[in-house]
A = this chain, B = another copy of it.
Amino acid sequence: MFGLTILGNNSALPAHDRHPTAQLLTTPEHLLLFDCGEGTQMQLARYKIRRSKINYIFISHLHGDHYFGLPGLLNSMGLQGRTQELHLFIPEKLKAILDLQFEAANAVLPFKIHYHFLAEEGLLLDEKKFKVSCFKVQHRIECWGFLFTEKKHPRKILPDECIQYDIPAAFYERLQHGEDFTNKEGELIKNEWVTKAATLPKSYAYSADTIYDESLADVVKDVHLLFHETTYLQDEEERAAARFHSTTKQAAMIARKANVKRLLIGHFSSRYDVLDEFEKEAKEVFENCELAIEGVTYLL
């Protein structure tokens, strides 16, 4: 089971008790943090998520509302005595900032950080059950989106059929990976007679801060869940473009074009206190759309 918990759904200027961007992706073995705006560690505490369990942190770009909470989170991990290694996937310049901060505090963290700099599109992390890759998005400064994909599930064994065809249990793992079986008599037992397809691997795309960009639809094609920013309502299309942000309908058009299963919208401008209109406008273009609400976990 995978779940995406929203820790911050606001754009740069915190308001209306909404916070800058941070999202936590929970997998059965790992917690992955996407962006880490100011106050993320307090939001983790508020929602009773253990910061010690986070092993991978991804930072999309170096506007402060996407990373000003990172130094504090790292410090707190250190104060809590963390020894587990931590992987940071970040724009390279962020390391220089962190280094200066550690130096100024005369601080040495008690755990090792592995720095992975975002330089090329493609695979970032290849874990046992999932992988994460990055892709470029169009924003005012260099900015990266992230694509999480569960690895292909093994096919499911049909025990009765396997027994009927007299397939030894030692061969089951090869069946799960799609192989056919040939018995002693030289007869071919087709894989699909004795197994069934597994559920489709889950996927999540976070397209960070981005101007409306149709080419994004190819990158996030068919994902289960797409988070697309909607800093503004549709009537602010010009303002959105000028600031390299997107509107409700633009996000929904990407979702429709990409044929995603479900769209989550957020990164709301502080000019909006009430958010209902965001959902309404986006749904006019793409029905399966929800507001990203802080503290809510959206299952993939």
For chain A residues 1-28, which have a beta carbon within 8 Å of chain B?
Answer: 12-15, 19-20
Judge whether A138 is part of the interface by a CB distance below 8 angstroms.
no
- Asked, given contacts A14-B42, A41-B38, A45-B15, whether A141 binds B76 with beta carbons under 8 Å apart, the answer is no
Judge whether A154 is part of the interface by a CB distance below 8 angstroms.
no
8 Å CB contact of A64 from B45, B62, B105? B105
Judge whether A164 is part of the interface by a CB distance below 8 angstroms.
no
Chain A, residues 68-108, CB within 8 Å of chain B (1/0): the string is 11011001100110000000000101101100110111110
Judge whether A202 is part of the interface by a CB distance below 8 angstroms.
no
Identical chains bound together, number: 2
**A79: nearest residue on chain B (CB-CB)?**
B13
Contacts of A76 in B (CB 8 A): 12-14
CA distance A69 to B12 in the complex (A): 14
Interface residues on A, range: 35 or more
CA distance A80 to B79 in the complex (A): 34
Contacts of A45 in B (CB 8 A): 14-15
Nearest Cβ on chain B to A211's Cβ, whole angstroms: 15
Judge whether A266 is part of the interface by a CB distance below 8 angstroms.
no
CA distance A68 to B104 in the complex (A): 12
Chain A, residues 107-119, CB within 8 Å of chain B (1/0): the string is 1000000000000
Judge whether A140 is part of the interface by a CB distance below 8 angstroms.
yes
Judge whether A151 is part of the interface by a CB distance below 8 angstroms.
no
**A13: nearest residue on chain B (CB-CB)?**
B79
Q: When the two chains form their complex, are residues A75 and B12 in contact, meaning their CB atoms are under 8 A apart? A: yes
Nearest Cβ on chain B to A63's Cβ, whole angstroms: 5
8 Å CB contact of A41 from B14, B69, B103? B14
Contacts of A145 in B (CB 8 A): none
Q: When the two chains form their complex, are residues B105 and A141 in contact, meaning their CB atoms are under 8 A apart? A: yes
Contacts of A107 in B (CB 8 A): 63
8 Å CB contact of A42 from B39, B62, B103? B39
CA distance A112 to B108 in the complex (A): 34
Contacts of A20 in B (CB 8 A): 72
Contacts of A94 in B (CB 8 A): 104
CA distance A99 to B140 in the complex (A): 18
- Asked, given contacts A13-B76, A41-B14, A45-B14, whether A91 binds B104 with beta carbons under 8 Å apart, the answer is yes
CA distance A69 to B41 in the complex (A): 13
Q: When the two chains form their complex, are residues A13 and B80 in contact, meaning their CB atoms are under 8 A apart? A: yes
Nearest Cβ on chain B to A64's Cβ, whole angstroms: 5
Q: When the two chains form their complex, are residues B75 and A64 in contact, meaning their CB atoms are under 8 A apart? A: yes
Which 3 residue pairs of A and B lie closest in terms of their CB atoms, listed nearest first?
Answer: A62-B104, A38-B72, A93-B104
Known A13-B76, A93-B104, A94-B104; further 12 A-B contacts with Cβ < 8 A:
A12-B79, A13-B79, A14-B76, A15-B45, A20-B72, A62-B105, A64-B75, A64-B105, A68-B71, A97-B97, A104-B141, A106-B140
